Amino acid sequence: MADIIQLLPDHVANQIAAGEVVQRPASVVKELLENAIDAGASTIKLIVKDAGKTLIQVIDNGKGMSTTDARLSFERHATSKIKTADDLFHLHTKGFRGEALASIAAIAHVELKTKQEQDEVGTNLTIEGSRVDSQEVVVTPNGTSVSVKNLFFNIPARRNFLKSNAVELRHIIDEFHRVALAHPTIHFSFYNNGSESFNLPVSNYRQRIVNIFGSKTNERLVPVEEETEVLKISGFVGKPEFAKKTRGEQYFFVNDRFIKSAYLNHAILSAFEGLIKSGTHPSYFLNLTVDPQTIDINIHPTKTEIKFDDEHTLYAILRSAVKHSLGQFNIAPVIDFERDSNLDTPYNYSKTTVEPPKIEVDRDFNPFQEQKVSNKSATTTFKKQSSANWDGLYVGLQSEDTSTPSDFSEVAFETEESVSSLFEVETQHEQASTTYQLHNKYIISAIKSGMLVIDQYRAHQRILYEDFLQNITVKEGVSQQLLFALELHFSAQEIEIIKQLKDDLEHTGFVFSNIEEESVEITGVPLCVPESEVSIILEQLISDVQNEVPEANFSATDLLAKSMAKSLAIKTGQALKKDEQEHIVNKLFACKEPNVSPTNRLTFITVGVDELDKKFI
């Protein structure tokens, strides 16, 4: 029998490797930015067109490569970062496997321009689908410029799986944020379709966070500092009152490398226990420095997950450090039964001398003398009378205003007769009602064949969803004007999402008077939306747009209606009055699809009399 196992050609092996390394344009951005950092660059420029599908270019002023190194960099497993297997446990660089450039070159058109400082000219290398087309001498600045064009040009199936430009661009921005936050000492700039989106100068860590997420972020940060033999922690956490329903602003960096860790995230949530509402998530930007020998980075293709030798110790230290910072800066409440904050001396008066109060006494005052009390309409003289002769207290009251009648014999009082008893009305209402609320979660309604059990949250979602959908489609959403304009602050990325949804939001009843780079001014909201819920609704909407990943042919109107219905629906645990219960029942069965919620979950079930009878057999 003939042998059937054979070695794959290099270009096929590279395409297979690209399936792990390059999942979408954001993966290319991550690899190229990390290569620029490893090259010692102090300035890095990222240029993107059509969300990376047409062009991804990274320009740096690093040390560059020689002609030989430029050619070898596109070979599989060719790297300057490690030489032996032991080096995997002493990593101080971003890349080390030598697969990135080879994988990218296998599925795109790549152009590399690089020059070292000591050389007069550089190298220009052009590669198409792992095949080197040309290698020439070129005049170029010091450093390296890598252009990746027509991603997945030779794998149309993979290209078809890419999402819309808006979604892919959000993934690219996320990767850019992760790299830029980890290296505040490097100047980053980001250009999308010819316009500048971010320009992040060299700064400290706090300023880098503010430059990315907006100026209002500065007042929300609480510094965290802790250094032990095992772990060094530095960075910031957000104040509890600014916790969001989304997980957007949560960043862990281990040795300047972004990672995801549900275990360490739980340590942060544990530190915030009792300070934030259930279902909300705090923001944090934390740098963890550990011994490279105690971690294993090479357990995930994208290197976003790390294996720690002693996770339990890191958990305890991280939790304690965050809890200590929240208490140190008076964010968390202090439990001290002997301390009375009312007795604290204000800061402005801490160094002033104490002066005794001055008391002024009217020494001519005689309580037994007659006093005259003046009024605009009358002046009455009071004489001190003995309380024993009480009927004499009314003698001597004379009014100088003769127009005021002194005879009250003709004054009449109006009275209302009670028509019916309050308890009788309630009894009649109870008898007429056909609904009952169970555990503040379900509404029980009697029907001919048995009873209905309605989930109040899902049912109200369906009602609001169809109402919002109709308002957006007909473009007749009713708005209530606010007495004072409401100003909300968001990051630049979130502002872009609001701009995309502005027209649909206005059709539901929102009125935007001004949208700037970091803030939104709202002067009108839909009738059913309380002013205090506006920020929560917009945050939930932004989260849904980011997480549900709508396609280009996906209806933004449908997503908007779903998101607003989810935010405004009556929550589980809320007690309802009888008329509210009946209103939900009536409105639900007036919907076009009362059986399911907007997320395709059952809104009610029926329990027949026969089923109940079987329970008693």
The string of pLDDT tens digits covering residues 13-30 is 766 666 667 888 999 999
Radius of gyration of the chain (CA): 36
Judge if 588 and 469 occupy the same domain.
yes
- DSSP summary character for residue 524: E
Q: What is the pLDDT of residue 378?
A: 45
**Is residue 369 included in any domain, yes or no?**
no
Amino acid residing at 440: N
CA atoms within 13 A on the CB side of 267: 19
**Is residue 417 included in any domain, yes or no?**
no
Q: What is the pLDDT of residue 556?
A: 63
**Is residue 497 included in any domain, yes or no?**
yes
Cα torsion 166, 545, 493, 525 to 10°: value is 130
Judge if 447 and 531 occupy the same domain.
yes
DSSP-derived pairing of the beta strands 109-115 and 122-128 = antiparallel
Cα separation of 395 and 386, whole Å?
A: 12
- Per-residue pLDDT at 560 exceeds 90: no
Domain count for the chain, please give it.
Answer: 3
| C-alpha to C-alpha distances, 191 to 47, 50, 195, nearest whole angstrom | 5, 11, 5
Q: Per residue in 495-540, pLDDT tens?
A: 888 888 888 788 878 889 888 888 899 998 887 778 878 888 888 7
Judge if 196 and 210 occupy the same domain.
no
Q: What is the pLDDT of residue 146?
A: 93
CB atoms within 10 A of CB 562: 22
Residues forming beta bridges with residue 123, ordered by sequence position: 114, 137
Query: Domain containing 538: what range?
Result: 436-547+555-605
Instruction: Pick the closest to residue 294 from 251, 225, 230 (CA basis).
Output: 230
- Per-residue pLDDT at 345 exceeds 70: no
CB-CB contact of 286 with 205 (8 Å): no
Judge if 52 and 136 occupy the same domain.
yes
- Per-residue pLDDT at 399 exceeds 90: no
Token reading at 29: 């951005």
Cα separation of 94 and 34, whole Å?
A: 6
CB-CB contact of 232 with 289 (8 Å): yes
Instruction: Pick the closest to residue 228 from 294, 304, 296 (CA basis).
Output: 294
CB-CB contact of 119 with 144 (8 Å): no
Judge if 441 and 524 occupy the same domain.
yes
**Is residue 383 included in any domain, yes or no?**
no
**Is residue 1 included in any domain, yes or no?**
no
Q: Per residue in 129-167, pLDDT tens?
A: 888 888 999 999 999 999 999 998 888 888 888 888 888
Q: Report the residue count for the chain.
A: 617
Judge if 24 and 143 occupy the same domain.
yes
- Cα-to-chain-centroid distance, residue 192: 24
Task: Lowest mean pLDDT of 194-203, 378-387, 392-401, name the range.
Answer: 378-387
Q: Which residue has the tokens 């003769």?
A: 402
The contacts of residue 240 (CB under 8 Å, 6+ apart) are 272, 275, 276, 282, 326, 331, 332
Q: What sign does the dihedral 549-551-555-557 (CA atoms) show?
A: positive
Helices (H), 161-296: 165-182, 205-213, 262-271
- Per-residue pLDDT at 177 exceeds 90: yes
- Per-residue pLDDT at 424 exceeds 50: no
Judge if 171 and 278 occupy the same domain.
no
Kindly report the CATH number assigned to the domain that includes residue 265.
Answer: 3.30.230.10
Q: What is the pLDDT of residue 96?
A: 58
Cα separation of 56 and 51, whole Å?
A: 8
- Per-residue pLDDT at 291 exceeds 80: yes
Q: What is the pLDDT of residue 417?
A: 53
Instruction: Pick the closest to residue 540 from 187, 100, 244 (CA basis).
Output: 244
Three-state secondary structure string covering 464-475? HHHHHHHHHHHC
What pTM value is reported for the model? 0.69
CB-CB contact of 224 with 235 (8 Å): yes
SS3 337: coil
Please say which residue of 157, 174, 200 terminates a domain: 200
The arithmetic mean of pLDDT across residues 411-426, rounded, is: 50
Q: At what angle do helices 578-588 and 456-474 cross, to 10 degrees?
A: 60
Token reading at 101: 């450039």
The arithmetic mean of pLDDT across residues 464-487, rounded, is: 82
Question: In 38-51, which positions are buried (b, 16+ CB within 10 angstroms) versus exposed (e)?
Answer: bbebebbbbbbbeb
Q: What is the pLDDT of residue 565?
A: 86
Q: What is the pLDDT of residue 154?
A: 83
| C-alpha to C-alpha distances, 487 to 424, 519, 521, nearest whole angstrom | 50, 7, 4
Cα separation of 321 and 234, whole Å?
A: 10
Cα separation of 498 and 517, whole Å?
A: 11
The arithmetic mean of pLDDT across residues 66-92, rounded, is: 71
The arithmetic mean of pLDDT across residues 331-346, rounded, is: 61
The arithmetic mean of pLDDT across residues 224-228, rounded, is: 92
Judge if 165 and 222 occupy the same domain.
no
Cα separation of 60 and 146, whole Å?
A: 9
Average pLDDT, the chain: 80
Please say which residue of 301, 328, 355 terminates a domain: 328
Instruction: Pick the closest to residue 494 from 221, 222, 175, 173 (CA basis).
Output: 173
Kindly report the CATH number assigned to the domain that includes residue 182.
Answer: 3.30.565.10
Q: What is the pLDDT of residue 366?
A: 80
Q: What is the pLDDT of residue 283?
A: 92
The arithmetic mean of pLDDT across residues 275-293, rounded, is: 88
**Is residue 23 included in any domain, yes or no?**
yes
260 against 348, higher pLDDT: 260
Judge if 598 and 492 occupy the same domain.
yes
The arithmetic mean of pLDDT across residues 195-199, rounded, is: 90
Kindly report the CATH number assigned to the domain that includes residue 601.
Answer: 3.30.1370.100
- Per-residue pLDDT at 427 exceeds 50: no
The arithmetic mean of pLDDT across residues 280-286, rounded, is: 91
**Is residue 423 included in any domain, yes or no?**
no
Token reading at 608: 């027949």
DSSP 405-473: ----TT---------S-HHHHHHHHHHH--EEEETTTEEEEEETTEEEEEEHHHHHHHHHHHHHHHHHH
Token reading at 360: 């002024």
| C-alpha to C-alpha distances, 493 to 7, 132, 192, 507, nearest whole angstrom | 46, 38, 13, 23
Please say which residue of 300, 328, 356 terminates a domain: 328
CB atoms within 10 A of CB 175: 21
Instruction: Pick the closest to residue 260 from 204, 216, 303 (CA basis).
Output: 303
Confidence of residue 448 (pLDDT cuts 50, 70, 90): confident
For the chain, what percent of residues have pLDDT higher than 70? 77
Token reading at 204: 């400290």
Q: Which residue has the tokens 């929240």?
A: 326
- Per-residue pLDDT at 423 exceeds 50: no
Judge if 158 and 242 occupy the same domain.
no
Q: What is the pLDDT of residue 386?
A: 52
Judge if 172 and 269 occupy the same domain.
no
* CB-based burial label for 533 (10 Å; 0-12, 13-18, 19+): middle
Helices (H), 205-310: 205-213, 262-271
- Per-residue pLDDT at 39 exceeds 60: yes
Judge if 44 and 176 occupy the same domain.
yes
For the chain, what percent of residues have pLDDT higher than 90? 26
Q: What is the pLDDT of residue 432?
A: 46
Token reading at 141: 């600045």
Q: Per residue in 573-588, pLDDT tens?
A: 888 888 889 889 999 9
Confidence of residue 377 (pLDDT cuts 50, 70, 90): very low
Q: What is the pLDDT of residue 74?
A: 83
**Is residue 367 included in any domain, yes or no?**
no
- Per-residue pLDDT at 382 exceeds 80: no
DSSP H or E stretch at residue 557 = helix 556-568
